[in-house]
Structure 1
Amino acid sequence: MASEQGDIVDVAMASPDHSTLVAAVKAAGLVDTLKGAGPFTVFGPTNAAFDALPAGTVDTLLKPESKGDLTAVLTYHVVAGNVDAATLTQQITAGGGTAKLKTVQGGELTAAVADGGVTITDAKGNVAKVTTADVKGSNGVIHVVDKVLMP
């Protein structure tokens, strides 16, 4: 992902690895929200992360009648504020090894340091690795993750 190419939506749109995420954000009607002032911290799943979901999951979520579910899944990947890698690492250290992150969806993510990197655990116990940190946009930061997080 390139950086400093406008807001976080523009940055994601410029990334060939995030076309599924962009399509989902559009289907959920979240483009205007995520183009807002923010700041936002987004844990952005790659296309491969969406592809790893059970067969049919993405197609089902992208249907108009699933907009509520899709919105919940996507906003579960967003934390208010500009939580860059240094801030997140400080929060993990201050939390004795984990940091709880309140999502825009209302749920919670747990960040931890493992194998020299940062992991994000969702409410269902799925663990995503941050594969690229601190992709900056004008209204926040994106951390690329290798799994789709589920509320």
Structure 2
Amino acid sequence: MIQTRMMRRGFLTIGTMAAAGTIAAPALLRAQTVPPTRTLADTMAADPRFARFLDLISRAALVEEFRSAQPMTVFAPTDAAFFGAPANLLQQLTGTGGSQDQVDRQRLAALINYHVVPGAFRASELMGNDRRLRTRNGADISINGTTEGVLVRNPAPAQQIAGFGAAGANLNAQPARVVAADIVASNGVIHAVDQLMWP
């Protein structure tokens, strides 16, 4: 009888503490259950690895697209990815080369949207050989995901209906490699890649 009363008293004490909020979930559990609050645009802006890609997004006036509520997966080229890209083509698109200082927003948007897939895909969901995903510019990318990493490439340069035109031919000799996966934002997922992908 005395033991039963003590047990009841113990349960009441624990219940009171839990109601008062004095028993907290472990810090690791709390961190996992708190959803991210930064959008894709804000997440890239806070990460110095994506400064050049975000500059392209700004020049194409697409920043608000990356702040929209719809979920997206972004294969975002790191700043290092731009070193292997044809500088003259990037200058044409951004209006930074030659006498003409005008951004080619249509082609620049096609390039940016070729790095974006509707829906939020984690790296674990990209496993498998030669998976095709339709990008936001209407052309396909091919994904090969293995335990050694995720590779992304244009399966048919200069032949896709929503492509970039002939300028995209032969620019993707090697697939882009995901170098940092599952950077989660409030409206999607970013996978950092080591090359620009040309539609």
**Which residue identity is paired with 1:20?**
R
Other-structure match for 2:5: none
SS at match of 1:6: coil
Percent identity for Structure 1 against Structure 2: 34
Other-structure match for 1:144: 192
**Which residue identity is paired with 2:81?**
A
So what's the TM-score if we normalise by structure 2?
Answer: 0.68
CA contact (8 A) 1:4 1:11 kept: no
User: Does residue 179 of structure 2 align to residue 131 of structure 1?
Assistant: yes
Pairwise CA distance, 1:115: 7.5
Pairwise CA distance, 1:48: 1.4
Q: 1:42 to 1:6 in 2, by over 3 A?
A: same
SS at match of 2:191: strand
CA contact (8 A) 1:8 1:141 kept: yes
**Larger Rg belongs to:** 2
Query: Which residue of 92, 106, 117 corresponds with 2:149?
Result: 117
**Which residue identity is paired with 1:79?**
V
Unaligned runs of 5+ in 2: 1-34, 96-101, 158-169
Question: What do the CA deviations read for 1:101-121 (whole angstroms, capped 9, x no partner)?
Answer: 100000000000357111001
CA contact (8 A) 1:50 1:58 kept: no
CA contact (8 A) 2:60 2:103 kept: no
Query: Which residue of 105, 117, 123 corresponds with 1:79?
Result: 117
Other-structure match for 2:40: 8
How many pairs were matched up? 143
Q: CA RMSD in A?
A: 1.7
Other-structure match for 1:49: 81
Distance 1:133 1:24 in 2: 21
Other-structure match for 1:98: 130
Q: Compare the two structures and name the one with the higher strand fraction.
A: 1
Instruction: Tell me: higher relative CO, structure 1 or 2? Use CA pairs within 8 A at least 6 residues apart.
Output: 1
CA contact (8 A) 2:59 2:103 kept: no
Question: What do the CA deviations read for 1:99-149 (whole angstroms, capped 9, x no partner)?
Answer: 101000000000003571110011437210000110000000000000000
